[in-house]
Amino acid sequence: MKTTNLHDLQASVQDKSAFLQLGDYLKMAQAFLSYLQASNPTRIVSPSHNNYIFYQYSKSDGYKITRPLNSDLFIESPEEMKDKFERFISFLSDLKKLQERVSSNETYKDYIESREIDKVIYTLQQTIGCVGDSFDNSNQSRKRIGMLFEVLVKLIIKELGMECEPRTVNLPIPNQPGYSMSYELDLVFSKNKAILTSETKFIHPTEIVGSVKTTSKDRIDKVFLDKFLLSRLLGRDIKVVAVFLHDVQRAVKGKSIFGINSTFKTNHFLGYTVALNKLDGVYYVDPRPEMTSNPKLAEQVRDFQKFLTVDLWTLTKTDH
């Protein structure tokens, strides 16, 4: 897609037939980054967090302001994005063969430590988000942006040779004949095609449930509740992981409208962990600093690269 027109980019984001493969995400990212180069919108550095930037579109585009972008992760050059994407796809091919052994392989040490995997995924998703921010009514694009992040994560997992699809299950309520709860699961993944028998017709013991959201804001409680209810209703432990893009939003700080607020609720997260259950993994493409500095959070929260290179393989290991 070769365009420097924001209206065309908006149409691409809304196109229900697009984003069927990872290459479609690259085309979108390159088109948006090329548009930035051509239109040269105002680039604003957050005064409260210097590693976050915003773009403000021109008068003809209503002076709309994008979401905060972590400049440590966001790739701004379309040429650099193409190079890094191709390296990412090549790495996924090697990861499919080596699985978790890749993390201890010297060949990939520098690549993994550079966080280039997170950078590519972050940029693929945030370019879509920035286009979404240009709509007159951002609510009309919010659901679509969230759905496209789910699809992106699904496509990456499938690229690794895994089974991975959304699933809706109707779970019978124990001791309430004729009553069931309908559950929409963002993703269910496993290393091999799980054969669902009458005993495991909803979720197989080798399958992992993944909740995928752009942010945990107003959603973190549901992920914990999902694991609690799924395990309780099915009478066995169901593995549930959460994948989030980031947890920041724009905020007014003093006279500036370009401050940054964290939307991660530490106390809620720890409270649900104690009162309900621990999740089997929580992953961020752009983790907040407190997630590494707070030892209680660091026990559970990791960056998304760790999920792809290590935890995805150990979670799906099975003796079945």
What integer is the mean pLDDT of 62-74? Answer: 95
134 and 36 inside one domain: yes
β-strand partners of 69: 53
Residue 27 lies in a domain: yes
Could you tell me which of 66, 200, 179 has the C-alpha nearest to residue 125?
66
The total of structural domains in the chain comes to 2
Give tens-digit pLDDT for 122-135.
999 999 999 999 99
102 and 58 inside one domain: yes
> What are the distances in angstroms from CA 45 to CA 54, 117, 257?
6, 24, 11
Is the pLDDT at 215 greater than 70? The verdict is yes
Report residue 143 as tokens: 């659901």
Q: How many residues does the chain have?
A: 320
Residue 71 lies in a domain: yes
Return the pLDDT at 257: 84
Residue 60 lies in a domain: yes
pTM to 2 decimals? 0.94
Return the pLDDT at 199: 57
Range of the domain at 44: 6-139
240 sits in which H/E element: strand 240-244
192 and 70 inside one domain: no
127 and 198 inside one domain: no
195 band by pLDDT with thresholds 50, 70 and 90? low
Q: Tell me the pLDDT of the chain averaged across its residues.
A: 92
100 and 238 inside one domain: no
Is the pLDDT at 69 greater than 70? The verdict is yes
Cα–Cα distance measured from residue 192 to residue 200, given in angstroms and rounded to the nearest whole number: 15
176 and 309 inside one domain: yes
22 and 118 inside one domain: yes
16 and 120 inside one domain: yes
Name residue 14's amino acid.
Q
Give tens-digit pLDDT for 270-284.
999 999 999 999 999
Q: Residue 86 contacts by C-beta under 8 Å, 6 or more apart in sequence?
A: none
Other residues' Cβ atoms within 10 Å of the Cβ of residue 86: 12
127 and 223 inside one domain: no
Residue 148 lies in a domain: no
Residue 18 lies in a domain: yes
Residue 149 lies in a domain: no
What integer is the mean pLDDT of 13-32? Answer: 95
Q: Residue 193 contacts by C-beta under 8 Å, 6 or more apart in sequence?
A: 163
For residue 236, the 8-state DSSP code is S
Return the pLDDT at 1: 47
Asked if residues 252 and 259 have their Cβ atoms less than 8 Å apart, the reply is: yes
Residue 264 lies in a domain: yes
55 and 193 inside one domain: no
187 and 226 inside one domain: yes
What integer is the mean pLDDT of 276-304? Answer: 95
